[in-house]
Structure 1
Amino acid sequence: MNLKIKKILYFWFVETPDEKKFQKDFKFDQVIKGRFLNDYELASQNKLDDWQDTDRGCLALIILLDQFSRNLFRESGKAFEQDEKSRSVLLKIIANNFLDKMNESERLFALLPLIHSENISDHEKAYELMEKYLKNHSDLEKIKKFWLDHTAVIKRFGRYPHRNKVLNRVSSDDEVEFLNSPNSSW
């Protein structure tokens, strides 16, 4: 296996405590930037597309493009620039039955591009895959709540309003009211 792939997966699934993965932590963001910004840039320029030939490579690409992007470019529209590519890598994972080769923690992160999507059909697909691939996950109830909260926002607004500012989108009055409420962004 490619050394870069090993380093990305080891960092995310072994070195990084689960609670760090979903927290806003600028110090942690800087660690990711120092170790993986160059890899992210290569992946975003399609220079690591050969990684899509293996389950490990696909998973590393999703971690780079879907997870690390949110740490590298927090509070910037750039955090979401590779969401579509992450989704396409996930589709390759599904087509090649690579989810069968992953443990449940890896599957969770492989599936997140569907929940990060602003397309409701992607959310519906995520629930189908959750039933098949995450049914024994130790945090299944937390995952379901997290996903349901995200999907409720997409159903209500057709997008994630907390992204509006950094994506230069105008917020509706309903979105502004929502954004002023607690727990309106992740």
Structure 2
Amino acid sequence: MTDSNNARQIGEVLDFWFPEDRALDIDPDRHAEHWRWRMHGGADGTIAARFGPLTERGAAGALNHWAGTPESRLALIVVLDQFPRSLWRGNPRAWAQDLAALAQALEGLENGDWDALDLPWFQIAFTQPLGHAEGSDHLTRIDRLIALRRDIAARAPAPLRPLYASLVDQAEQVHRIIASFGRHPHRNAILGRRSTPEEEAYLEKGAFPHLRVFRG
């Protein structure tokens, strides 16, 4: 694939996933609506129609060369971490790319890519894999995610700070869940994992942080 095709596809991913573009003066209600759209399945149909083959290529490791600039790495993280959750919702493949997305996020945090992204919604999306990917270091990563989100919230334009503070709260809720269970119990049935009695009680309540944030 030519560099021009890569640049076009990277631009299409970013333009689609971030309809805010670069307007820091965005209306808070409109911005919250964008977050609801991103986080609650509003994009599923369009992702399948427009980005299905691209997501398949990302899952196969065929887009790893995108990690050359901060914004192209962000586009790769979106393709690995977010698009599969829409394309393969209710299927184990939804989370099969989490470790690959995490590797991209961690590398970008270390090499300065994250710092170079000066928009709060870019930085949030860049670091979401820290909370998504299960593993033995999950709690440590969520501690880092909480600290990063606090920093983002503090630097966000004043009208947007309550929204980003809510994402700090969400990460803290995820921390409590991983501290209690060591994994995301809402994935158990789809992944064929047996839930513990404690997880069954949690699942019965249905109060999952990724579903509750930005509701209402």
Q: Same fold (TM over 0.5)?
A: yes
Distance in structure 2 (CA, Å) of the matches to 1:134 and 1:64: 25
Deviation at 1:120, TM superposition (A): 1.1
SS of the aligned residue for 1:183 comes to coil
Please give the TM-score of this superposition, normalised by the length of structure 1: 0.92
Distance in structure 2 (CA, Å) of the matches to 1:105 and 1:31: 20
The code of the aligned residue for 2:146 comes to: Y
The code of the aligned residue for 2:8 comes to: L
Contact 1:107 1:134 in 2 (8 A): no
Structural RMSD (CA): 1.7
| Residue identity (%) | 27
Bigger CA drift: 140-149 or 159-168? 140-149
Post-superposition Cα deviations, 1:136-158, rounded to whole Å, max 9, x if no partner, equal 23222211111111111101100
Structure 1 match to 2:17: 12
Deviation at 1:12, TM superposition (A): 0.5
Structure 2 match to 1:3: 8
The code of the aligned residue for 1:90 comes to: A
Structure 1 match to 2:127: 111
Contact 1:117 1:123 in 2 (8 A): no
Match of 2:144 among 95, 107, 125: 125
Unaligned runs of at least 5 residues, structure 1: none
The code of the aligned residue for 2:46 comes to: V
Structure 2 match to 1:184: 208
Structure 2 match to 1:86: 101
Please give the TM-score of this superposition, normalised by the length of structure 2: 0.80
Post-superposition Cα deviations, 1:24-58, rounded to whole Å, max 9, x if no partner, equal 44xx3111111111111111111111111111111
Are residues 1:45 and 2:60 paired? yes
The code of the aligned residue for 1:14 comes to: P
Runs of 4+ aligned structure 1 residues displaced above 3 Å come to 131-134
Are residues 1:36 and 2:51 paired? yes
Distance in structure 2 (CA, Å) of the matches to 1:112 and 1:173: 28
